[in-house]
Amino acid sequence: MPGDGSAGRAGQPHAPAPALWQQLIGVAGALQAIRAGQSGTAAVAAVPEPLRPGVQALLFHVLRHAGRAQALARCLVQRPPPPAADALLCSALALSWHPDEAPYEPFTLVNQAVEAAKHHPPTRQQSSFINACLRRFLRERDALVARTDADPAARWNHPAWWIARLRKDHPEHWEHILQANNTQAPMTLRVNKQKVALAQYQQALKAINLEATAVEDSGLVLRQAVPVTSLPGFAEGWVSVQDAAAQKAAPLLLHGLDLARPLRVLDACAAPGGKTAHLLEYAGAGAPLAVTALEIDATRAARIGDTLQRLGLSAQVLVADAARPQDWWAAHCGGVPFDAILLDAPCTASGIVRRHPDVRWLRRESDIAQLAVLQARLLAALWPLLRPGGRMLYCTCSVFRAEGDEQVQSFLVRNSDAQLLPSPGHLIPGKADKAEAVPDNLSGEHDGFFYALLQKSPQ
């Protein structure tokens, strides 16, 4: 168990690993921050560095079981305890309720949760209360779990509104989506073919005992995730980390275009730059492709530059609002229409819950309509910037139809000069039954996504 402070091999001492109770304090604090509206990324970043890896791993487990934990907590308490104590109680319940999936023995988790309560000032006065609740849970676990089985949020570990929305949007596949969301996503790479062939890189991985399965045109799905620093040639720009669904953007937008002639491409909402880079990689070395990458946030825009620099690629990166072309189109793009536009619009991120399990607990149902308004505004603002005969790829990492099918159908009604070309539509996250659930050629794991390829009528 972490924190035993034992010496290293050959009698060499090493710094003791953090005790589990210390990690549980970090987990409960992060859960409390997420409940208050902070992203999981920010919540984990606030954890002291020595605790951070363990806290993140445990937190992800907690977030994937938070619905069950909240339902169990309601069975154990007459009224909710203070937020810090409730977060610690729910964290311990989420980690221990299913013995087969628990990262530690349930008795160990309970003992360490009580230790965490005693050591942490915000929960010290509730340590006896937490101890009583968790001891009762250990005694009555089967009965308490059975009491919560009828609660959809407990069974699926998603908010009730989210479950209802999926049942409406995907009546045949909503259960699969929820199941996939509660699993860990694989690590998928995109090989930069300007620097190394796909098969060659696959062999380089095999040489260091990393098995990978080819997916899409340039993708490799790793059997096990590893730090990017251990990937051959990562610093030299041989590969990037990018989900297989996201890797569809560049081929969808550019396939069939004459890449030998100068083309002007806009990547709106481009941070952190993965799709910008893939556009340039897909076009090939020496292709006269002029890419403009927009990002409204300066800090995130800097990440686009970092991504391109590592890969040895170049694009015009602008800090600007894609919904306000009057601020940047004439000044930085000469007011010349684009041949192709990629609009990866802000969305609920409901398709990437496997990678960001906090999303389901951060989002509110009202966010869908608010984001749909923004998506429609971006489509309306960017469509006039496309040349006649040009194409726009609209995409979101969402499985909600209001941000996908419904958004595009409304756009087509408003714009008679727009035609929907063959497109994947909604991609179901995880390993779906491909012939039935996902109308595309992906083979293997991928995130939930939506793609619609639109062409402007020639004048």
Q: How far is CA 312 from CA 94, 269, 306, in A?
A: 44, 21, 10
Q: What is the pLDDT of residues 7-66, one digit of tens each?
A: 333 444 455 789 999 999 999 999 999 999 999 999 999 999 999 999 999 999 999 999
- Please give the backbone phi and psi of residue 292, each rounded to the nearest 5 degrees, phi first: -110, 125
| Element at 453 (helix H, strand E) | strand 449-456
Mean pLDDT of 178-188: 94
Structure tokens at 113: 């949760």
Q: How far apart are CA 88 and CA 37, in angstroms?
A: 17
3-state class of 209 per DSSP? coil
Evaluate whether 435 touches 164 at the Cβ level (below 8 Å).
no
User: How many beta carbons lie within 10 A of that of residue 304, not counting itself?
Assistant: 25
Query: Strands across the sheet with 239-241, in order?
Result: 212-215, 219-222, 188-191, 239-241
CATH 3.90.850.10 fits 188-241, yes or no: no
Mean pLDDT of 288-301: 96
Give the per-residue pLDDT at 14.
55
Q: What is the CATH number of domain 246-456?
A: 3.40.50.150
Q: How far apart are CA 46 and CA 26, in angstroms?
A: 9
Q: Which residues are catalytic?
A: 397
Quick check: 370 pLDDT over 70? Answer: yes
Structure tokens at 411: 């756009």
Q: What is the pLDDT of residues 126-136, one digit of tens each?
A: 999 999 999 99
Give the per-residue pLDDT at 286.
85
Give the per-residue pLDDT at 10.
40
Mean pLDDT of 89-100: 96
When pLDDT is cut at 50, 70 and 90, the band that residue 437 belongs to is very low
Structure tokens at 299: 């800090």
Q: How far is CA 12 from CA 6, 218, 275, 287, in A?
A: 10, 45, 47, 56
Give the per-residue pLDDT at 179.
94
Q: What angle do CA 396, 402, 403 make, to 5 degrees?
A: 15
Q: How far apart are CA 34 and CA 19, in angstroms?
A: 23
Domain boundaries, the chain: 9-157, 188-241, 246-456
The CATH number fitting domain 9-157, selected from 1.10.760.10, 3.40.30.10, 1.10.10.10, 1.10.940.10: 1.10.940.10
pTM: 0.90
Q: How far is CA 19 from CA 55, 116, 132, 397, in A?
A: 11, 10, 22, 37
Q: What is the mean pLDDT of the chain?
A: 92
When pLDDT is cut at 50, 70 and 90, the band that residue 285 belongs to is confident
Give me the residue label for tokens 């251990």: 230
Give the per-residue pLDDT at 16.
72
Looking at the DSSP bridge assignments, the partners of residue 236 are: none
Q: What is the pLDDT of residues 136-159, one digit of tens each?
A: 999 999 999 999 999 999 999 999
- List the alpha helices (DSSP H) in 383-458: 405-414, 434-437
Higher model confidence: residue 5 or residue 290?
290
What are the DSSP E strand ranges found in 197-328? Answer: 212-215, 219-222, 239-241, 263-268, 289-295, 316-319
Q: How far apart are CA 247 and CA 279, in angstroms?
A: 10
Mean pLDDT of 182-203: 94
Q: What is the pLDDT of residues 207-228, one digit of tens each?
A: 999 999 998 889 999 999 999 9
Evaluate whether 202 touches 214 at the Cβ level (below 8 Å).
yes
Evaluate whether 390 touches 455 at the Cβ level (below 8 Å).
yes
Decide whether 188-241 matches 246-456 in CATH topology. no
Give the per-residue pLDDT at 337.
97
Give the per-residue pLDDT at 259.
93
